[in-house]
Amino acid sequence: EKPYFKHFFREVIDRLHYLSCVKLSGRIDNSELVAHLKDLVALDFSAKDTAGFLKKIAEIYAEEHAYDLAREYLNHGLKLHAKLPGAKKLAELLA
């Protein structure tokens, strides 16, 4: 309700994105990381933030050669945010 909280909340989301997509990647098992990312998707952040989490899930599935799942998550992310950074390169890999 307070204007300053909205600014602070943006920092919280950015920190969650950094921790889940950068710091935890490679430090915990991919299946556990995917579960955490799916929990973040369920929190219903903005379309852009949710799309970023979905893209990270797609990248993990692509690394594990689960290309159908990777395409599914990437497409879902692109539906939410068409200009998702890094999506073109991942889409080319999955084509």
Residues 6+ apart with CB under 8 A from 72: 58
Question: Residue 1: which pLDDT band, with cuts at 50, 70 and 90?
Answer: low
pLDDT in the model for residue 35 = 96
pLDDT in tens, 11-54: 888 999 999 988 888 889 999 999 999 999 999 889 999 999 99
pLDDT for residue 70 is more than 90: yes
Q: For a pLDDT cut of 70, what percent of the chain falls above it?
A: 96
Q: What is the pTM of this model?
A: 0.88
Amino acid 25: pLDDT = 84
6, burial (CB in 10 Å: exposed 0-12, middle 13-18, buried 19+): exposed
